[in-house]
Amino acid sequence: MAKSRIGRAEQRNGWLFIAPTLVLLGLFMVYPIVWSLWMSFQTGRGMNHSFGGFTNIIRLTQDPVFLRALTNTGIFLVVQVPIMIVLALLFAAALNNPKLRFRGFFRTAIFLPCVTSLVAYSILFKSMFASDGVINDLAIMLHLMDAPISWLGDPFWARTVIILAITWRWTGYNMIFYLAAIQNIDKSIYEAARIDGVPAWARFRYITLPMLKPVILFTTVISTIGTLQLFDEVNNITTGGPSDSTLTLSLYIYNLTFKFMPSLGYAATVSYVIVILVAVLSFLQFLVAKDRKA
């Protein structure tokens, strides 16, 4: 009897404590995502819209700008995420060596880009990659190239700058996760391997990497979601140009809603493409990770 009263009080408190959260998330997360789904079947301009069935989905497949944004986002994803994760792993492995000198300095230096805001570092990159700017000067001085490159004026190089920028900003962030995870690995495993004469690269390949798999999966999923939402960098470094070569899905949704004549239904359809991509890619990454385990 007494116990059930306490139980009921606990139940009540449990709901009371999470009530503000549930109200806020319901209003500002669940409602918008459901509204978005409904909206993606509406056509029309501004606030005037009517049911359009699959009109928006058909429009997607014929919209060259959307297809370019999708391709660009795909390129950023496929090229940038693996480069960054491999770099972060290498740095983490190197910094884990207790005999390494200036360890604290290296760790802080590589992590430092994480404290900048996305807008601030984007602007630094934009100014450094100006056509007669400091990067061209340094590269020519070091004989890395003969003539200056028009970094932000050429589709290929503009994409390269975006990839370099994101890698600069996020490698240290991922490295910190790997470093924390490596330090949790039981040292005796390495001792045993060393005594058995397993070389360093093999210890990395057959002990460190498998032990880090959950963290690598976590960071891959986070990076994938982040890349699919890429906005701040492209809007501030290239504004999607030249000729839409760095336009991303998020920037396209922004343009559809706030730059052009607002086409809310179509913008909602494009945003659902991101939702579906995030869901499918996260699921695939989990499948791959599970498969390797078996």
Interaction between residue 57 and other proteins (CB under 8 A): no
| H/E segment holding residue 50 | strand 50-51
User: Left if phi > 0, otherwise alpha if psi is -120 to 50, otherwise beta: which for 244?
Assistant: left
Structure tokens at 109: 């230096």
Binding mask 222-241 for other proteins (x = CB under 8 A): ---x--xx-xx--xx--x--
Task: Please say which residue, 180 or 189, places its beta carbon nearer to other proteins.
Answer: 180
Q: Which residue in the set 2, 20, 61, 143 belongs to the binding site for other proteins (CB under 8 A)?
A: 20
Interaction between residue 33 and other proteins (CB under 8 A): yes
How far apart CA 44 and CA 290 sit, in angstroms, is 44
**Least separation, in Å, of the C-beta of 29 and other proteins?**
5
User: Using CA of residue 47, residue 48, residue 50, residue 55, what is the dihedral sign?
Assistant: negative
Q: Which residue in the set 55, 96, 116, 160 belongs to the binding site for other proteins (CB under 8 A)?
A: 116
Positions in 275-294 near other proteins (CB under 8 A): 275, 278-279, 282
Positions in 129-148 near other proteins (CB under 8 A): 130, 132-138
DSSP letter string over 150-179?
-GGGSHHHHHHHHHHHHHHHHHHHHHHHHH
CA-only gyration radius of the chain, Å: 24
**Least separation, in Å, of the C-beta of 281 and other proteins?**
10
Task: Please say which residue, 28 or 156, places its beta carbon nearer to other proteins.
Answer: 28
User: Binding segment for other proteins among 120-128, 189-197, 205-213, 284-292 (CB under 8 A)?
Assistant: 120-128
User: Binding segment for other proteins among 7-15, 78-86, 189-197, 202-210 (CB under 8 A)?
Assistant: 7-15
User: Binding segment for other proteins among 54-62, 124-132, 185-193, 286-294 (CB under 8 A)?
Assistant: 124-132
Task: Please say which residue, 159 or 169, places its beta carbon nearer to other proteins.
Answer: 169
**Least separation, in Å, of the C-beta of 34 and other proteins?**
9
**Least separation, in Å, of the C-beta of 60 and other proteins?**
15
Interaction between residue 254 and other proteins (CB under 8 A): yes
Place of tokens 């899905």: 249
Positions in 73-112 near other proteins (CB under 8 A): 87, 90-91, 94-95, 97, 100, 105-106, 108-112
Structure tokens at 128: 């450094």
Residue from 75, 274, 222 nearest 163 by CA: 75
How far apart CA 245 and CA 238 sit, in angstroms, is 9
Strand ranges inside 10-138, DSSP E: 42-43, 50-51
How far apart CA 237 and CA 128 sit, in angstroms, is 11
Positions in 159-198 near other proteins (CB under 8 A): 168, 171-173, 176-177, 180, 184
Place of tokens 């890429």: 230
Residue from 27, 51, 32, 31 nearest 41 by CA: 51
